Amino acid sequence: MSKKLISLVLIIAMLVGALSFAFAEGQKEAKGDQTINLRLGHPYDPSHPWQKGSELAAQRAKELSNGRINITVYPSSQLGTEAELQEQMLVGSIDIVVSGAGQIGTIYSPFNVLEMPYTFKNNQHVIALGKSSVGQELFEGYRKKFGGRIIGPSSYGIRQMATDRAVYSPKDLAGFKLRVPEQTVPLEYGKAMGANPTPTSLAEAYMALQQGVVNGLENPLSAIWAQKYQEVTSHIILTSHVTNVCAYVMNDKKFLSLSKADQDIILQAFDDASKLIVEILDREDKELVAQFKAAGLTVIEPDVDAFRAATAYMPEKFAYWWEKDFGSDLHARIRDLQF
């Protein structure tokens, strides 16, 4: 091959390389400029703090992306029940959903550690979990196994009791029929706190209270008020026995398909949403105590230490759910987080 021919081949190779590089850079730039449409589904009604958080996340994503990222929110189980939403998100037919720790725990048992009584000191403790190494370790386990990425962990609220009588300690719950969901953890802590746990669907709970089928139930104050249980109970007992963790979860393949800049926008938007939810819950808890009193209910601050002691065995009993992957001390590491 002559020197002229060799030079010509080299020049052509350089031009092809330069064009390929330019094309690749153009593709990256185009990807960064494209409109992204995401669907977010959750089971809560339009007045719920998690809907308000979802609206903020959509607003912030749009602002931070200069209008490129559009998140359409579907509340009130429009796209399916909580269980169905999780399934659809994992297969990629919905981009983002809201799932409680208990729901995630039905398929990924280590998440049940978050359902143990008296794990969290308050709602801010849940936010701290999301920022911590132990929280990220737990979330990463779920992502690797099932493909759901936690993008916004927050609180669903602090569970209290609405009852037909005064309750100050576990001994006051002897013979007490406590409505609980038909799940392993609530059945166990209902029994541990001294009650006779009675599984009842949420749809039947009001009538069960009204007819005396159950003597009370447990839920965050906001849920108790929204469901009008103050009409069929006489006391609010501030046991604060479980702080429920809930999270925005995104299909991981969808998340990874975005540019790094857009991933950061999504994470920032849902971090803002998570903080707003806790702000609303903290404010509502203070306001609702006064509202329950104004509605004629007696609000009792019971012996919380006695309830804590009665349920203290549960993390050890259920450690088999998480000890293989994270060690038997996982619960203690979450409980003792400094924030």
| pLDDT higher at 17 or 280 | 280
Confidence class of residue 4 from pLDDT cuts 50, 70 and 90?
very low
List, for residues 165-224, the tens digit of each pLDDT value.
Answer: 999 999 999 999 999 988 899 999 999 999 999 999 888 999 999 999 999 999 999 889
Which pLDDT score is estimated for 201?
A: 87
Pairing of strands 196-199, 36-41: unpaired
Q: What share of the chain in percent tops pLDDT 70?
A: 91
Homologous superfamily of domain range 34-335: Bacterial extracellular solute-binding protein, family 7 (3.40.190.170)
Query: Do 41 and 79 form a contact (C-beta atoms < 8 A)?
Result: yes
Which residue in 209, 274, 219, 216 sits closest to 241, CA to CA? 219
Q: How many CA atoms lie within 13 A of 156 on its CB side?
A: 24
Which pLDDT score is estimated for 202?
A: 83
Cα–Cα dist 258/250, whole Å: 12
Cα–Cα dist 237/302, whole Å: 7
Confidence class of residue 3 from pLDDT cuts 50, 70 and 90?
very low
Which residue in 75, 98, 74 sits closest to 86, CA to CA? 98
Delimit the domains of the chain by residue range.
34-335
Alpha carbon separation from 108 to 43, 144, 157 (Å, rounded) = 20, 11, 22
Confidence class of residue 16 from pLDDT cuts 50, 70 and 90?
very low
Query: Do 229 and 217 form a contact (C-beta atoms < 8 A)?
Result: yes
Q: What is the pTM of this model?
A: 0.87
Q: What is the average per-residue pLDDT within 148-155?
A: 98
Q: What is the average per-residue pLDDT within 48-72?
A: 97
List, for residues 24-51, the tens digit of each pLDDT value.
Answer: 443 433 355 799 999 999 999 898 999 9
Our separate counts of H helices and E strands in the chain read 15, 9
Which pLDDT score is estimated for 61?
A: 98
Residue 266: its H or E element: helix 260-294
Q: What is the average per-residue pLDDT within 66-84?
A: 96
If you average pLDDT over every residue of the chain, what do you get? 92
Confidence class of residue 14 from pLDDT cuts 50, 70 and 90?
very low
Cα–Cα dist 95/202, whole Å: 27
Q: Which residues contact 316 (CB under 8 A, 6 or more apart)?
A: 328
